[in-house]
């Protein structure tokens, strides 16, 4: 099993990819989506999914019913990112890391959740910062025979070029995701494209 991940500047592009992953045979319990919600664009109720994530329970059980992963979206907070809309295994993992992050035992919920599942730490930092700055993260744990297809789906032209985004962040003095940096405020977050300010 391998973890494949993509960052999207546009939430709708990310949700399209979630649908494509589900259609390709990746079980929805192995797909996660985490989108910045600092501007309160998602006004769905703080569903059982969000409450379960905050308590560390498995979101997969909440979203496992009919209707797909996106019907289980919940609102939660991640240190350094702020409010997010999330569903899937990464949200539950990130929520479980919250206590460790608050105690200084983890770099952050998203970084810890991704690195625990095989994403390199430098890439995990860029993904977390991307969500912090208004992006949407889609990640999937896929069986070996589905890896190539899942990588193709997540690597579409609509996804962020991670190396390019890292370079952009670093050119402004960024050195890594910092859960103590504070969340972006709504006027700094753009739902349609990534904001590249420090």
Q: Could you read off the pLDDT of 11-22 as tens digits, one per residue?
A: 999 999 999 999
- Residue 70 is classified by DSSP as G
Residue 108 gets the label, from left (phi > 0), alpha (psi -120 to 50) or beta, of left
Q: Could you read off the pLDDT of 84-97 as tens digits, one per residue?
A: 888 888 876 665 54
Distance CA 140, CA 18 (A): 9
What count of residues does the chain have?
198
Q: CB within 8 A of 173, min separation 6: which ones?
A: 198
Task: At 112, list the tokens.
Answer: 């810890």
pTM (two decimals): 0.76
Task: At 141, list the tokens.
Answer: 């744990």
Q: How confident is the model at residue 129 (pLDDT cuts 50, 70, 90)?
A: very high
- Hey, where are the domains in the chain? 2-188
Distance CA 52, CA 17 (A): 24
Distance CA 2, CA 146 (A): 9
């Amino acid at each position: 099993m391998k973890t494949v991940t993509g960052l999207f500047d546009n939430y709708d592009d990310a949700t399209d990819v979630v649908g494509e992953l589900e259609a390709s045979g990746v079980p929805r319990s192995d797909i996660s989506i985490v989108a910045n919600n600092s501007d309160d664009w998602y006004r769905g109720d703080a569903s059982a999914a969000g409450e379960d994530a905050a308590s560390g329970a498995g979101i997969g059980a909440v979203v496992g019913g009919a209707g797909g992963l996106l019907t289980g979206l919940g609102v939660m907070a991640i240190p350094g990112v702020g409010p997010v809309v999330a569903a899937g295994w990464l949200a539950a993992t990130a929520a479980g890391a919250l206590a460790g992050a608050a105690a200084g035992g983890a770099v952050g919920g998203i970084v810890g959740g991704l690195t625990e599942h095989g994403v390199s730490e430098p890439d995990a930092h860029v993904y977390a910062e991307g969500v912090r700055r208004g992006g949407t993260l889609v990640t999937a744990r896929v069986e070996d025979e589905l890896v190539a297809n899942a990588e193709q789906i997540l690597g579409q032209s609509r996804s962020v070029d991670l190396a390019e985004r890292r370079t952009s962040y670093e050119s402004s003095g960024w050195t890594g995701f910092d859960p103590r940096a504070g969340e972006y405020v709504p006027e700094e977050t753009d739902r349609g494209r990534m904001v590249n300010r420090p």
